[in-house]
């Protein structure tokens, strides 16, 4: 690096060091009292649509507002891509059009959350500051176009952000029709690999490790002689020969990216809280797309909101894929209720459609699924399909012709029902006997080094999640800082990276009577993504009562295991060959040179027990059997009569249950429950064997 560049980089490092510590000091403390979304919306269930008045003739706005009101809509999200319309030239603002749109909507009882428009900076900003755009791992800067093309570490972009966010906040801070803010749009990647980002990463490393000796030791930079003698030598995981990277550096880079995203969010929330302290702040997040650590990020928000598109799932009766994403989002703010900022309003795609069109009735079932998992508000993406741009195929409730189609009437019906149910729902929340541990560090580390090509961290979560859901059991998703003590069962799949605090927490949990399920690739790495020198499963070996001296990555081969009722289950992906130290064997491998060796064990330890699952099964029955065993021992009741494609999910208020029975299939179903309940919408008592038509929902109360 030449002299002037080095000086610039050093200055930037200082700025970033200061900025970083300042940002940390400004972090909002975790909310103690859950945010009440229904009170926030004046006692009404939030029911809305994402609306883009800037893209439609003003003469249409009144008609839109009337149609919205008739559909029961009382909320819109607006503005998140309208930066150029609000600031057509640097420092010149125009909010008159948005004022007029708000006036029309407010007159029809519709309130708004405004999106800060930073996901789509104006062309003039790129023309003036081309380095705002992201540089890819090859050192090539993307050119203008698309969206989310900004470098989180670029100071000109920060300045432009401060200007537009402050101007919006000042203009709308006392507006009675604006109840809150959405920061940006789906904050997350892309990662930027430019010199400014490199300097920011180096500063982040300096804050974390303090000395180069500590960093070199933590990352094991002695390997291939990659020891750093100065902070400025630390690279990014950009394109290297043979695409080789130090996994410790890569994991820290992922954490850095997540922290930078958080820092950028805080940069905006700090401005908004200062200028507009009475308006709530959220962000539209992305469920299973977890490039950002949602748990960290959400410390800075009043409540969680997220974007749900179940059409992306191949089989629409696979309700639990969306179910898991809902529970990840709820878990990311300690199980507080949340809202949907983009609930699927129609089939979608960009160049090609990515899903099948669903019957309108099924959209209603997904709405209820959101509510059943803790949503106290639903806002559809989008009011009307765009006539322009990349998303001409991404359907809103209405199509471009504004015709009152079947989805519109579905929205109307659902809205009416949700308002009727609001007194019952208000103040209720989700209580689950089971938690699934979602470890951002393990996820990121395994993305970089999956071990076998088809290893999917999400699949590990999903397999166990699905088994509990088939049994009608609510599941919370915990993150490493979550309190686990109240759960009867904790499943921690592929806990590849863990620190001592997490090991201690799981130890205490089991010793105090908890049931823990651990799976293959657990305890492999320390918090620096360095492989343990202890016998696997490393820090969990004592708890699990097993030692692993040999494993078999299943490269396109398939195994099988025998056990849990002497059944044969096909397995795949990985085989840990277990040697019990104190555990008892529940299943053994069926094939190959290690046939007969243990694959699944149970260890009674302290007041609790640990199951260690050495492989992944292709058979849902395997998970059902294992979960049934763990549930029996942990006194968790399962309902094994729920038909496939039907979900039973429960909210609770004051110990009383609100049961949602949701049929995602195209045929009528019978769902036996443990007692007869009252239908909350009709007030009539339902039989114990609940009859539920195709694509329909019943909400039951005690």
**Distance separating alpha carbons of residues 284 and 148, to the nearest angstrom:** 14
State how beta strands 615-617 and 567-580 pair.
antiparallel
Q: Can you read off the two tokens belonging to residue 129?
A: 């500051």
307 vs 327, beta carbon nearer ligand GAL: 307
Cβ-contact 526, 532 below 8 angstroms? yes
Question: In angstroms, what is the minimal distance from the CB of 347 to ligand GAL?
Answer: 11
Cβ-contact 150, 132 below 8 angstroms? yes
- In sequence order, the 6+-apart residues with CB closer than 8 A to the CB of 129 are 154, 156, 157, 160
391 vs 579, beta carbon nearer ligand GAL: 391
Question: In angstroms, what is the minimal distance from the CB of 394 to ligand GAL?
Answer: 5
Phi-psi category of 523—alpha, beta or left, where left has phi over 0 and alpha has psi -120 to 50?
A: left
Question: In angstroms, what is the minimal distance from the CB of 80 to ligand GAL?
Answer: 7
Question: In angstroms, what is the minimal distance from the CB of 158 to ligand GAL?
Answer: 22
Question: In angstroms, what is the minimal distance from the CB of 400 to ligand GAL?
Answer: 16
From 186, 283, 602, 686, the catalytic residue: 186
81 vs 468, beta carbon nearer ligand GAL: 81
Question: In angstroms, what is the minimal distance from the CB of 56 to ligand GAL?
Answer: 16
Residue among 458, 529, 473 at smallest CA distance from 497 = 529
Q: Is 186 a catalytic residue?
A: yes
Give the residues lining the site for ligand GAL (CB under 6 A). 185-186, 284, 307, 342, 348, 381, 391, 394
Q: What is the DSSP string of 154-203?
A: -HHHHHHHHHHHHHHHHHHTT-TTEEEEE-SSS-------SHHHHHHHHH
With tokens 């200061």, the residue in question is 18
Cβ-contact 275, 166 below 8 angstroms? yes
Cβ-contact 523, 536 below 8 angstroms? yes
307 vs 441, beta carbon nearer ligand GAL: 307
Question: In angstroms, what is the minimal distance from the CB of 487 to ligand GAL?
Answer: 32
185 vs 290, beta carbon nearer ligand GAL: 185
223 vs 350, beta carbon nearer ligand GAL: 350
CA atoms within 13 A on the CB side of 50: 25
Cβ-contact 388, 55 below 8 angstroms? yes
Residues in the chain: 702
**Distance separating alpha carbons of residues 331 and 310, to the nearest angstrom:** 19
Q: At what angle do helices 457-470 and 319-331 cross, to 10 degrees?
A: 100
Cβ-contact 678, 348 below 8 angstroms? no
Question: In angstroms, what is the minimal distance from the CB of 286 to ligand GAL?
Answer: 7
From 87, 285, 291, 342, the catalytic residue: 342
80 vs 696, beta carbon nearer ligand GAL: 80
Residue among 390, 7, 337 at smallest CA distance from 199 = 7
- In sequence order, the 6+-apart residues with CB closer than 8 A to the CB of 17 are 203, 206, 207
- The total of other beta-carbon atoms located within 10 Å of residue 46's CB is 25
Phi, then psi, of 254 in degrees rounded to 5? -65, -40
342 vs 576, beta carbon nearer ligand GAL: 342
Question: In angstroms, what is the minimal distance from the CB of 119 to ligand GAL?
Answer: 8
Cα radius of gyration (the chain): 26
- The total of other beta-carbon atoms located within 10 Å of residue 618's CB is 14
Question: In angstroms, what is the minimal distance from the CB of 242 to ligand GAL?
Answer: 34
- Kindly state the helix (H) or strand (E) to which residue 574 belongs, with its residue range: strand 567-580
CA triple 295-296-302, angle to 5 deg? 80
Q: Is 342 a catalytic residue?
A: yes
Question: In angstroms, what is the minimal distance from the CB of 305 to ligand GAL?
Answer: 11
394 vs 612, beta carbon nearer ligand GAL: 394
384 vs 651, beta carbon nearer ligand GAL: 384
State how beta strands 475-478 and 489-492 pair.
unpaired
**Distance separating alpha carbons of residues 96 and 100, to the nearest angstrom:** 6
- The total of other beta-carbon atoms located within 10 Å of residue 223's CB is 10
50 vs 696, beta carbon nearer ligand GAL: 50
End-to-end CA distance of the chain: 71
**Distance separating alpha carbons of residues 61 and 188, to the nearest angstrom:** 32
Catalytic residues: 186, 342
């Amino acid at each position: 690096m030449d002299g002037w560049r080095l000086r610039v980089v050093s200055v930037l490092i200082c700025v970033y060091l200061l900025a970083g510590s300042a940002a940390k000091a400004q972090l909002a403390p975790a909310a103690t009292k859950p945010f009440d979304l229904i009170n926030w919306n004046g006692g009404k269930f939030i029911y809305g649509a994402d609306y883009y008045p800037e893209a439609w003739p003003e003469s249409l706005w009144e008609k839109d507002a009337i149609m919205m009101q008739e559909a029961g809509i009382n909320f819109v999200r607006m503005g998140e891509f309208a930066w150029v319309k609000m600031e057509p030239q640097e420092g010149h603002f125009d909010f008159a059009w948005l004022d007029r749109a708000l006036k029309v909507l407010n007159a029809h009882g519709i309130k708004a959350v405004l999106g800060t428009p930073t996901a789509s900076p104006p062309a003039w900003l790129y023309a003036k500051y081309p380095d705002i755009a992201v540089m890819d791992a090859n050192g090539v800067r993307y050119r203008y176009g698309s969206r989310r093309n900004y470098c989180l570490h670029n100071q000109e972009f920060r300045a432009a952000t401060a200007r537009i966010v402050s101007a919006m906040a000042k203009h709308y801070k006392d507006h009675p029709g604006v109840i809150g803010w959405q920061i940006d749009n789906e904050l997350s990647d892309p990662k930027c690999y430019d010199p400014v980002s490199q300097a920011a990463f180096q500063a982040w490393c300096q804050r974390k490790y303090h000395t180069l000796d500590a960093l070199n030791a933590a990352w094991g930079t002695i390997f291939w002689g990659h020891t750093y003698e100065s902070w400025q030598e630390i690279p990014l995981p950009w394109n290297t020969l043979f695409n080789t990277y130090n996994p410790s550096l890569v994991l820290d880079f992922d954490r850095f990216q997540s922290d930078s995203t958080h820092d950028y969010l805080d940069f905006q929330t700090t401005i908004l809280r200062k200028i507009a302290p009475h308006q709530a702040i959220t962000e539209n997040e992305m469920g299973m797309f977890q490039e950002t650590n949602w748990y960290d990020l959400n410390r800075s928000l009043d409540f969680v909101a997220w974007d749900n598109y179940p059409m992306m799932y191949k089989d629409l009766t696979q309700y639990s894929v969306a179910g898991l994403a809902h529970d990840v989002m709820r878990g990311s703010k300690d199980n507080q209720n949340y809202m949907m900022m983009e609930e699927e309003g129609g089939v979608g795609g960009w160049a090609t459609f990515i899903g099948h069109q669903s019957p309108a009735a099924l959209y209603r079932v997904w709405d209820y699924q959101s509510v059943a998992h803790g949503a106290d508000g639903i806002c559809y993406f989008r009011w009307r399909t765009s006539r322009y741009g990349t998303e001409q195929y991404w359907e809103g409730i209405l199509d471009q012709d504004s015709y009152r189609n079947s989805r519109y009437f579905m929205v109307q019906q659902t809205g009416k029902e949700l308002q009727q149910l609001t007194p019952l729902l208000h103040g209720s929340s989700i209580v689950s006997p089971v938690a699934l541990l979602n470890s951002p560090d393990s996820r990121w580390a395994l993305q970089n080094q999956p071990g076998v090509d088809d290893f999917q961290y999400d699949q590990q979560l999903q397999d166990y999640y699905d088994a509990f859901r088939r049994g009608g059991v609510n599941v919370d998703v915990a993150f490493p800082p979550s309190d686990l003590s109240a759960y009867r069962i904790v499943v921690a799949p592929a806990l590849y990276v863990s620190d001592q605090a997490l090991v201690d927490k799981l130890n205490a949990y089991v010793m105090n009577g908890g049931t823990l399920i651990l799976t293959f690739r657990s305890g492999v790495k320390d918090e620096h993504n360095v492989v343990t020198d202890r016998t696997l499963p490393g820090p969990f070996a004592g708890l699990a009562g097993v030692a692993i001296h040999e494993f078999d990555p299943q490269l396109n081969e398939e195994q099988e295991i025998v056990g849990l009722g002497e059944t044969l289950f096909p397995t795949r992906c990985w085989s840990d060959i277990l040697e019990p130290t104190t555990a008892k064997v529940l299943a053994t491998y069926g094939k190959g040179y290690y046939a007969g060796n243990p694959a699944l064990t149970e260890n009674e330890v302290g007041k609790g027990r640990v199951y260690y699952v050495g492989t992944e099964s292709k058979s849902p029955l395997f998970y059902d059997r294992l979960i049934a065993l763990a549930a029996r021992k942990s006194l968790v009741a399962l309902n094994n009569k729920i038909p496939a494609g039907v979900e039973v999910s429960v909210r609770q208020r004051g110990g009383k249950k609100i049961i949602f029975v949701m049929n995602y299939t195209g045929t009528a179903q019978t769902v036996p429950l443990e007692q007869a309940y009252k239908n909350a919408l009709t007030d009539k008592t339902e039989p114990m064997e609940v009859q539920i038509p195709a694509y329909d929902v019943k909400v039951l109360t005690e």
